[in-house]
Structure 1
Amino acid sequence: MDFPQRVNGWALYAHPCFQETYDALVAEVETLKGKVPENYQRKAATKLLAVVHKVIEEHITVNPSSPAFRHGKSLGSGKNKDWSRVKFGAGRYRLFFRYSEKEKVIILGWMN
């Protein structure tokens, strides 16, 4: 996935923090594809990349204002309320993003 990109009517941008993590994951999958082309799809990195794409395309860009993406006070009270969070991978991973309903823009900020 290249950024910026338009998905489900939303313009998607990647913050450098997200882009760095995403690019490293893509590179790892490409390396696996070269080393073990017969079963790289079964590797954890490949599955994680597929889930990241699914989360972005089927969840975040469908309804970024979903209450499921609110994080309460886990990032402190007040100053981080503009950030939303999606959990995936059985709650092991998180992707933080901001969005503007008016501009139809989503910025993918960080992923662990």
Structure 2
Amino acid sequence: MPPKLDQIVAAVAAVPVTLSAMGFTGAGIAASSLAAKMMSAAAVANGGGVAAGSLVATLQSVGAAGLSTSSNILLGTAGSAFGYYMGGSKKKTPPAPSDEAEEDEEDSSSGDDDPQIRPPSKKT
């Protein structure tokens, strides 16, 4: 089942909020934010500067200026599809143990054969 229109709208609306929360703001990259850490790592990896067109540069551009309508639609559709995929990949819960397994556990836990852990004796 493909993403619904309300899911796409919600994903599009979440893009600027998410970028701002990460630290990609209109005034630049916020200090001590995830964006600042990403920028630092990118600068170290590139020998001191952030490469034009890199992920950090692109996210900062989007955080500062926003996205075009076509980009909003594209990201919203991709985000909705990803959310749908992740929501549909729930694991099934394992079945409850049978009564036979419980009886076996009770029989093997008599307590007489269990090793006892003793504290080390103090030598004086």
Alignment TM-score > 0.5, same fold: no
Indicate the structure whose relative CO is greater, using CA pairs within 8 Å and at least 6 residues apart: 1
Q: TM-score, normalised by structure 2?
A: 0.27
More strand as a share of residues: 1
